[in-house]
Amino acid sequence: MFYHVKELQFNARVSKPDPKFARLLLEQFGGSNGELKAAMQYFVQAFSAKNPYPDKYDLLMDIATEEFSHLEIVGATIQMLLGGVNGELKNASEESEIMKLLDGTAAKEDFIHEAIINPHFGVLTGGSPHLTDSNGIPWTAAYVNANGDLTVDLRSNIAAESRAKIVYEYLMKFTDDPSVKETLRFLMTREIAHYQMFEAALATIQPNFPPGILQGDPRFSNLYYNMSSGMEARGPWNQGVSTQLGETWQYIEDPLQQVLDTEGLTTLTPTGTDRTEKTVKVLNEELSKLRSEEITSATAEIDAQWSTYDKSGGLINEL
């Protein structure tokens, strides 16, 4: 259940109205890297974690709920940045300030300019936030990544936090309001905190690479293809030992020749790796059994009940 507390998590303040910045800030309200995307992503991911991985469920729901708190802060800030626009529009008589502004003066041009910056604020939402990005593109569930595997989902979340962080960083360039800057800095910093939480949670799952269960084909996991002419840049991504599997990178200077020589890679033999088809098969079987049992043993198929209503408050489970 959700329980709403009317006070904001962070004391959002605005020095003066700024409809232009209100429009930009919509990016974090209904945009692809915004707070609603983050909240919904962690919320949706939490369902499959609930029974087999209660510690990760707790983490995902805590952060999802914090992201809703951020959504509320962003919405409140947009509302304050829009100042009295909503009230002006409710003054529907011809004598309203907006009608006066549209009376052939220089102010009329200013108003039209502001309205063109985001017509939705003027003619659709009446001066309140709405779930679109800064260009008016509606929020979509397509922004949400949830794949029912924590080694995948937690990595998606690290990427999502990175994107949310940089969008706040960019947004801070577009306002001079010290109060708004302070709020944005808080929201940006929380994404830095979340990044590390997801990273630490991923590290508690072992093994966690490659994402999912099945191991890669040892013939192909350490090949670097030189697929362009000109400079051949070398670095730890194509020389030395690979970051996760610890295999030696094989730099394929001439990929076309390799394809011709190996009948489309089918006759290639693994090099630079200790992994073999046999060890891969063993690991696939072991990991399949482990992960499948973790979930099936925690999943009731009949008489299922989601919650236990522990009267002590359930303050347990330190791992």
For Mn ion, the binding residues (CB under 5 A) are 35, 38, 67, 70, 191, 194
Least gap, CB of 112 to Mn ion (angstroms): 34
As measured in angstroms, the least distance from the Cβ of 189 to Mn ion is 10
Q: How far apart are CA 16 and CA 198, in angstroms?
A: 37
Q: What CA–CA distance (Å, rounded) separates 194 from 63?
A: 7
Shortest distance, position 198 Cβ to Mn ion, whole Å: 9
Per-residue b/e over 55-82, b at no fewer than 16 CB within 10 Å? ebbebbbebbebbbbbbbbbbbbbbbbb
Nearer to Mn ion, 152 or 223 (CB): 152
Q: Smallest distance, Å, CB 204 to Mn ion?
A: 19
Q: Which is nearer to Mn ion, 80 or 160 (CB)?
A: 160
Hey, how many other C-beta atoms are within 10 angstroms of the C-beta on 195?
Answer: 18
15: part of which helix (H) or strand (E)? none
From the CB of 78, what's the least distance to Mn ion, in Å?
15
Of 35 and 133, the one with the shorter C-beta distance to Mn ion is: 35
Contact in structure between 29 and 36 (CB atoms under 8 Å): yes
Q: CA 153 from chain center: how many Å?
A: 10
The span from the CA of 18 to the CA of 23, in Å, is 9
For the CB of residue 73, give the shortest distance to Mn ion in the complex, in Å.
Answer: 9
Residue closer to Mn ion by CB (options 70, 219) is: 70
Burial class for 88, CB neighbours closer than 10 Å (0-12, 13-18, 19+): middle
Nearest-approach distance from CB 181 to Mn ion, in angstroms: 16
Residue with Cβ nearer Mn ion (71 or 85): 71
- C-beta closer to Mn ion: residue 40 or 223: 40
Pick from 66, 290, 287, 222: which is nearest to 157 by CA? 66
Token readout for 24 is 């930009």
Which lies closer to Mn ion via its Cβ, residue 170 or residue 237?
A: 170
